[in-house]
Amino acid sequence: MAKQDYKELLNELDRNKLPVHIGFIMDGNGRWAKKRNRPHLYGHRAGVKALRQVVELGVELKLQYLTFYAFSTENWSRPESEVKGLLRLLKDQLKKEIPELMEQNIYAQFIGTTVGLEENYWKEVSSLVAQTHNNTGMVVNFAFNYGGRLEIIEGFKKFMTMHPEEWHKLTPEEFGNYLWTAGQPDPDLIIRTSGEKRLSNFLLWQSAYAELYITDTLWPDFDKVELIKALLDYTSRERRFGGRNE
């Protein structure tokens, strides 16, 4: 059967109800590769296409914030060859995509820690994304060397360093300004591919009221049609934030 045309499906979508911020836990690259008897990294490379499709549709739908979980602080425990391959893939791909990011007026940035990364590597990737920092369109966060618990602890340390006398005044609203996502709205929707039903340390603070969408589709197979399906599901939900919609 021919893959459903995304344009057709798009007609069903209520554009007034779209999420402002979507987070993606891009999982299943390894299983995708395994099914093809290929090495794990082959799956990571294939995952790039899915990411591009999501960004393209994001621009088309004028979504404002997309956050992609690219590498967790726990992913360092993987074989060294995979880690090295992933870091290199990220840098090389970013380099390739800069013209497109500029063309689409996308502001790209990393959220995560530099701990564990070589200084040269870090400098290179941050100067690449810095090229996009006058862009005013969609914001794309790459959660890279990212861990939600670390982000919270680092945020707290930052607050305490800046305002040591004011710890008793800290509120949840205020605390958001000390996280790596400072100034951004919380994700409305978190999409995880490959069927795993967990957050794996992704946006722990920010996901308090996020809608979760889990699909069995493996990340390299995720595409515009899959994203629209997730959005159709999201737009049909009733968000209550602890209140009551009478």
Number of neighbours of residue 181 by Cβ within 10 angstroms: 24
74 a known binding residue? yes
Binding partner at 198 among ligand IPE, Mg ion, none, C-beta below 5 to 8 Å by kind: ligand IPE
Give the max Cα distance, the chain. 65
Residues with Cβ within 8 Å of residue 113, at least 6 apart in sequence: 73, 145, 146, 147, 150, 154
- Report in angstroms how near the CB of residue 198 gets to ligand IPE at its nearest: 6
- Report in angstroms how near the CB of residue 47 gets to ligand IPE at its nearest: 7
- Cα–Cα distance for residue pair 224/238, rounded to 1 Å: 24
Tell me, what amino acid is at 246? E
Binding partner at 73 among ligand IPE, Mg ion, none, C-beta below 5 to 8 Å by kind: none
Active-site hit among 5, 11, 27, 92: 27
Integer angstrom CA distances of residue 122 from 20, 60, 114: 29, 31, 7
Residues, the chain: 246
Q: Exposed, middle or buried: residue 172 (CB in 10 Å: 0-12, 13-18, 19+)?
A: exposed
Could you report how far apart the first and last alpha carbons of the chain are, in Å? 43
Q: Binding string, 61-80, against ligand IPE, x = CB under 6 A? A: --------xxxx--x-----
Binding to ligand IPE, residues 167-186 (CB under 6 A)? none
- Report in angstroms how near the CB of residue 219 gets to Mg ion at its nearest: 9
Active-site hit among 14, 75, 92, 233: 75
Residues of this chain that interact with Mg ion (CB under 5 A) are 27
Q: Smaller CB distance to ligand IPE: residue 65 or 222?
A: 222
- Report in angstroms how near the CB of residue 144 gets to ligand IPE at its nearest: 9
Integer angstrom CA distances of residue 239 from 64, 149, 226: 19, 26, 22
78 a known binding residue? yes
200 a known binding residue? yes
CB of 75 closer than 8 Å to CB of 107: no
Q: Is 27 a known active-site residue?
A: yes
DSSP-assigned beta bridge partners for residue 72: 146
**Contact flag: residue 217 with ligand IPE (CB under 6 A):** no
**Contact flag: residue 113 with ligand IPE (CB under 6 A):** no
28 a known binding residue? yes
Q: Smaller CB distance to ligand IPE: residue 95 or 198?
A: 198
Query: In this chain, which residue has its C-beta nearest to Mg ion?
Result: 27
Q: Which of 23, 54, 32 is nearest to 187 (CA)?
A: 23
Contact set with ligand IPE (CB under 6 A) = 25-31, 69-72, 75, 86, 194, 196, 198, 200
User: Which residues are known to be catalytic?
Assistant: 27, 75
Give the residue numbers of the binding site for substrate.
Answer: 28-32, 44, 72-74, 76, 78, 192, 198-200
